[in-house]
A = this chain, B = another copy of it.
C-alpha cells in the first residue's frame, strides 16, 4: 500500500467517512497487500498473459479435472504439461473442450479470442534432431499460449551444418531463439555465433552411453564458446518457452 493511499484511508477515518473497524479490516491485511504477494501473482499473469501452468506428471486424471474445473471459473486459457495420452483421454471425457498435443504431452485450452500478440517479434524454436521434437513442442505451446508468434525449425543439427545455414535468414529475424538438442548439445554454440538475439538452450535426454540422459548436452551448453546463450534444465521445454515469453515482452508497451 502506497503512503498516499494509507493517508487517504486515515483521513477517511479521521473525518468519520470510514469506521475504525472497516479500516482495521483493511490494514490488518496490509502486510500482504502492501508486499503485494498475492497481488504479484495476479499482476504477473495479467502482464505476461500466462495461463496457470500445471505440472501433470505427478497428478492423477481426477486431480487434474478438479483443478482445471476450478481454474476455468476465472480463466480462458489452461496449460498442463507432462500429461501422457492415457491421462489426457481420461481428462477429456469430462473436459472435452481441452486440446491435447500428444507429442508435446500438453493438455491445454487456447482462448477462442486468441490472446493478443504480446511479444516484440517471433520466437523461433530450433531442434538438432527429430527426437528433440517433444521438448521443442512443449516450449512452442507454452510461448504461443503466452501470446507470442512462434515457429519451429526442425532437424538442423551440427553434423550437417549446411541445413542450419539454409535457415539463417529465419534465425536472424527472430527476437528470441530456443535451441533444443541432445547428445553433445552443440547446436546452441553454432546458432549463438550466427545471430544477435538471445539464445535459450534446452538440453534433451536424447542419446545413449555417455550422453548420460542429457547431462552431457547440458554441460556442453553451459560451457558454450558462444556468448549470449543461457540454459535451462534437461527436457525443460516449458521453462524455455516461459523464459522466452518473458524476454519477448521486454520493451513492449503492454508490458508497462
Contact = CB atoms under 8 A, between A and B. Distances in A.
Given A184-B225, A190-B159, A210-B219, A31 B35 contact: yes
A222 B209 contact: yes
Nearest to A27: B6
A210 B216 contact: no
A250 B197 contact: yes
Nearest to A248: B250
B243 A228 contact: yes
Interface string A1-22: 1010011001101101000110
A116 B108 CA distance: 43
A72 interface: no
Nearest to A181: B225
A35 B212 CA distance: 34
Interface in A143-196: 157-163, 165-166, 168, 175-176, 183-186, 189-190, 192-196
A236 interface: yes
A248 to B, nearest CB: 6
B162 A35 contact: yes
B20 A10 contact: yes
Contacts of A115: none
Contacts of A203: 209
Contacts of A184: 184-186, 189, 219-221, 223-225
Contacts of A217: 220, 223
Interface in A54-94: 57-58
